[in-house]
Structure 1
Amino acid sequence: MKYEEMNEENNFSMVNQFILVGFSDLPKIQGLLFGLFSVIYLVILLGNSLIITITSLDPALQKPMYFFLGNFSSLEICYVSVTLPRMLKDLWTQDRSISRLNCATQMCFVLMLGATECFLLAVMSYDRYVAICNPLHYPLVMNHKICVQLAVGSWIGGIPVQIGQTCQIFFLDFCKSNKINHFFCDIPPILQLACGNTSVHEISVYLVALLFVIVPFMLILASYSKIIGTILRLPTATGRAKAFSTCSSHLVVVLLFFGSATITYLRPKSTHSPGIDKLLSLFYTIVTPMFNPLIYSLRNKDVIAALRKLFLKK
């Protein structure tokens, strides 16, 4: 191994380096994992870049719904690029050491972009609510200025809180081990390494999770309860099917992301398991970004038509 594991007799309060355990417990398939995650990363980059391209260039997609979809695809590329290249480097070199500063930086970006995803998914549900429940007011309510303000608010809304939370966690002393049993620097596995009683920090994590996960999720549920009620009152089956098709893609992404994130950050500390934590994290950091373009493309005729036009031009 190219990295050194800390001796438990050392002074851990000044630890300047961690070890990301990642998938080192599967030594025989390191090459397979590197190939698999490389392909996944390429798929995420290409798929989401296609969505960004068509929502920017196709005149038929110059609508608020696709403006937010383009933002969401940009976010997915940023989100996965914070964790996946580092994981690929660890799998390739087997050097899993990461400095305290780099670990804090990675965690901060994961948290900020995660908050952005929560806000953006809530904004997208509000867009669908206005479009379906108040169609006559839609052009006025969701004008370009409002859309830009909602998008910017989603991108920057979580920055101050998440920077503060990251600083709070990395000001802790670490005295159990310097091995992070995860494939990126995330809050639960790092808190497990901290000295003494971390209950105050755990409460802080729960409060922030309630703010950035539960509140947007409740807003999404409220929007969809109104949307479903409106759809069921539509007079024709064709109208109901068309209205539901514009929402179903977004709803699938919401369930994938919020389901895994909620279980990760809001379940009791005693139930945390490294294997389950890694699996859940794969869902909201890799699986959702990978399936995002596919989910939105298969359920949206406008996106399919725009993709056909793009490839025909090529």
Structure 2
Amino acid sequence: MSNIKEVAKLAKTSTATVSRVINRSGYVSDEMKARVLKAINELDYKPLQRNVENRKTRTLALVVPDIENPFFAKLTKEISEIANTLDYNILLINLSGLKNDGGSFLLNLIGTGIDGIIYTSSFRLEDVINKAKEIKIPIVVLDRELKNIQVDSVSVNNENAAYLATEYLIKLGHKKIAFIGGTENMEISFYRHKGYKMALEKHKLDYNKNIVEHGDFSLESGYKSIKKLMNSSKDITGIVAGNDLMAIGAINYLNFKGYKIPEDISIVGFDDIELASSITPKLTTIAYPLVKMSKLAIEAVIQSISGSERDYMSSCLFARLIERESADFVNKKKI
């Protein structure tokens, strides 16, 4: 079994520095911190667990899939601001740089100098929950559908949100509405796709799988998806995109091909990122209640840290439609 001296030797530093990294006490440069954490991971070093009273660091780990996604950058900002008002610090863990090792680094990091976890990804979700419970670290799962798992969670009804977006276009007279979903095996994508289909069914419009594409929530995938859709179906008048980045990617392609938004094609996005209100035309989108989500998540994790006796909390919130300029009544010449 490895010890702190071996970690220090591998990281080429002192045991005192390793201790500061583990306990998040005192200054350690980002470069040195990364070397120490890498050594801990490689040696599978397990720091001795302190008792609950001594464990308090007033630090919460916020785990996000990809901080470069503007939605998660915005969520991080909200959570950090609320946490800071309560004298808690946020340790940001960006999963996009950790997945290559299968998640072992992430699992080893849990419990290293943190009081609680706010988890916003599907990546190894059950493993993370089980590890947190094993070492008695409070955890709250954000915006992920959970079945038969006892854990605090705050989610958004994505089915209803996609229904709102699709019905909005239908009420503007659109009948040929394409759907650009996110990563196909993600539950968020599944429920948004389901909401899209429900709206079509409610308004007696046929579901056509040929005008459905799935990207990966990136700008580029929105561009490629709408290119494929427009090459196969010239009569599309409306688009529901699984997030704002894919919506903006689709708009970029349509502008390149000479289509006018919303005169020729209307489009609705998801997430209400900052860019949505600054592009031309301004993007009509579905907005998450980020402030309320953040407050509920932090309240739940802090209550657990304090040892409050209560049942597991499960909150499901509703998104809202923000009308801007990218969607309008259907052009009668198109139908």
Task: Verify same fold: TM over 0.5.
Answer: no
Whose RCO is larger (CA < 8 A, sep 6+)? 1
Name the TM tier (shorter chain).
Answer: under 0.3
Q: Which one has a larger percent helix, Structure 1 or Structure 2? A: 1
Compare CA radii of gyration and give the structure with the larger one. 2
TM-score normalised by structure 1 residue count: 0.24
TM normalised by structure 2 equals 0.23
